[in-house]
Amino acid sequence: MKVLVPVKRVIDYNVKARVKPDQTGVDLANVKMSMNPFCEIAVEEAVRLKEQGAVTEGVSVSIGPAQAQETLRTSLAMGADRAILVQTDQDLEPLAVAKVLKAVIAEENPDVVIMGKQAIDGDNNATGQMLSALLDWPQATFASKVELGSGEATVTREVDGGLQTLKVALPAVITAYLRLNDTRYASLPNIMKAKKKPLDVKELSSLGVDTTSHLKVLKVTEPPKRGGGVKVESAAELVNKLKTEAGVI
């Protein structure tokens, strides 16, 4: 069984994002980049499934600039068998990403796709669902537990009311939630081994995918600074302020 894991290169979660002076986007110059945390969880789950014997091959794929090879090498160091970079300097929206992944999946023919539920830069939480629709595959989102069987996957997912358990036929798309697992640190020997693992680079144009953007960013601004709090003497005063000043009740 083959599992394909899409991964994304994003600003490191420990770094505070800065908006460009002209408000056209986020400033990426001289900023530390790393693998999207939810993608790390997806890679970890794929590696664990391989260690359990449920998966025979794990393939990681990224769509982005040449520097995304570093992100893919991280996935290889974590335990992926090989990697694919669809190279482009274009900033793709979720639908375009899903289309590109569909083209890669047509070539790789995996049994299951495990991916992060969202990236921490765009926070769209849309690519997995769009990919499932384009492939006409079943989907199980927000997975907190994954079990692969013969021709099917049992997925426990977190919903507003608690936990929901789904059984989906393979091939399927599964999106990883925060509590699916705790990711491992890549050891030095594995980092060295990752340098010798195959990493195939494809140009986006070679896939023949229409990546025309349907969205236009008008302006990017930082969130307003949070104001200081106030102390109240009674519950009645609190209710009054919520009504008259905050306007929330």
Q: What CATH number is associated with residue 148?
A: 3.40.50.620
Residue 16 belongs to a domain: yes
- Centroid of chain to Cα 21: 28
Per-residue pLDDT of 106-135, as tens digits, reads: 999 999 999 999 999 989 999 999 999 999
Q: How confident is the model at residue 228 (pLDDT cuts 50, 70, 90)?
A: confident
Q: How far is CA 87 from CA 17, 139, 206, in A?
A: 24, 27, 10
Residue 86 belongs to a domain: yes
Instruction: Give the model's pLDDT for residue 137.
Output: 97
Domain count, the chain: 1
Distance CA 247, CA 12 (A): 36
Give the chain's length. 249
* Continuous H helices in the chain: 37-51, 68-78, 94-108, 127-135, 188-194, 235-241
Q: What is the mean pLDDT of the chain?
A: 93
Distance CA 242, CA 236 (A): 10
Residue 44 belongs to a domain: yes
Count of CB atoms situated within 10 Å of the CB of 118: 23
Residue 210 belongs to a domain: yes
Residue 31 belongs to a domain: yes
The answer to whether the CB of 36 falls within 8 A of the CB of 73 is: no
Residue 115 belongs to a domain: yes
Residue 229 belongs to a domain: no
Per-residue pLDDT of 38-88, as tens digits, reads: 999 999 999 999 999 999 999 999 999 999 999 999 999 999 999 999 999
Distance CA 111, CA 138 (A): 12
Distance CA 80, CA 2 (A): 11
Q: Residue 208 is part of which domain span?
A: 2-224
Instruction: Give the model's pLDDT for residue 170.
Output: 96
Residue 203 belongs to a domain: yes
